[in-house]
A and B are shown apart, each in its own frame.
Chain A
């Protein structure tokens, strides 16, 4: 545990000093301000526009930051040979990966919390937003970001190319939002085997449509049990990606 905490601490400190992270946070505040202006076009729906644009900006920036930081996370240390120094210490590879991932997710989570606080303040001008539902959907966005970071880590280790890992992360991100479409196509299919395979695949692929904050909020907020299932889903999916990352990482020889 202490080992993981040590890796987590140095990863978090590294990211907090990272210029890309800081500029993303500043950019997020700028986007929120832009949303404030753009929402004026929505007339009676100004509050809704402000809420949607702010949540979308927060999530998009968190997602980009998480993928960008995670893809560089281990590959850069391999390239700069810094990994030799770390692995000569009594650090198991899974502990190293878990600590690195947790540190990155925590750094992105802090940025999301900052942007969320700024967003909530801005929303006060339009009658405010209920705090608990807001925190719930922000939590979903965070869970989605954490899954995406785990997936990007797995891809970076498996593909060993930053560009390819980023491209595939984008592919999986879009695929993740297609899960309901896959189930829709399965329903339309007349063939039972095709339908079974498609439904199975839609549940095996990351299903980001469930972790999309605004869509969870629309039409009434789900009950707490649903939220618990959503967080369990995200935790299990991230764990699967981290376990596979460990498998790939353990096969690497330094």
Chain B
């Protein structure tokens, strides 16, 4: 047998194996043409072309966090629109790696429940796409349902739904902070205090521990003072403290 006969046979085996792999587990990653058009699109495409989609998604996630902390000078908000690019930057992570579930959950939390952002339509758009790309993640559907209750003005059922996801390790810490603030706004300081204490007790929520400590002191003092209820007028934290 000549070497090139062997090469042809081996190539045929490789092609059959490739087709069989495709049938067993079709490629589910978004195409490069679907990558979000941001100032970082070239870098994203280069990393994805080098087989480093997951790393590109990780870097995009870090940049999303930097953006929320006000430390991403490449991205500017339009006047009057706070955290204008959250949808775009969350979608960027999701399209690089559809299984990076925390990014759309985090983005939807900001878009749907941050008072100064309050763009529920964008949150729904993000969650819709996330469900389409990763239907195996139940939290997307839960957040979408909570968003529907919010839009219907049914806060009690919305809070009950969000409470159900609280102990899920995949739930973003930001959502837990939002839930605690929701309790505070609804005039339930004891529940808000308990929620912040649960955040503080969870090592996975380390990013919210500093804020939890402050809120616990504040809420305990207010509860000791008793009677007076400044809750409904208290401002709602709208972003992470800048570092």
Contacts and interface: CB of A to CB of B under 8 A. Distances in A.
B52 A45 contact: no
- For the residues of A in contact with B, the DSSP-based class is helix
Contacts of B8: 240
Interface residues of B, number: 51
Size bin of chain A's contact surface: 35 or more
Nearest to A218: B99
A184 B99 CA distance: 20
Interface in B1-38: 2-4, 6-8, 10-11, 13-15, 17-22, 24-25, 27-29, 31-33
Contact of A41 (B31, B33, B65): B65
Contact of A218 (B13, B50, B97): B97
Contacts of A184: 31, 33
Contacts of B17: 229-230, 232-233, 236
Given A44-B205, A233-B21, A181 B58 contact: no
A218 B25 CA distance: 12
Contact of B54 (A44, A218, A240, A250): A218
A236 B19 CA distance: 14
A239 interface: yes
B160 interface: no
Contacts of B102: 44-45
Contacts of B29: 180, 209, 215
A169 interface: no
Interface stretch (A3-11, A107-115, A117-125, A220-228): A220-228
Contact of A44 (B25, B27, B31, B172): B172
Contact of A226 (B4, B24, B100, B136): B24
Interface in A20-44: 41-44
Interface in A190-238: 203-204, 207-210, 212, 214-215, 218-220, 222-223, 225-226, 229-230, 232-233, 236-237
A172 interface: no
A220 B101 CA distance: 13
Contacts of B7: 239-241, 243-244, 247
A122 to B, nearest CB: 16
B229 interface: no
Interface of B: 2-4, 6-8, 10-11, 13-15, 17-22, 24-25, 27-29, 31-33, 48-55, 58, 61-62, 65-66, 97-100, 102, 134, 136, 172-173, 204-207
In the A-B complex, list the 5 residue pairs whose CB atoms are closest, starting with the nearest.
A240-B10, A243-B7, A214-B54, A236-B14, A233-B17
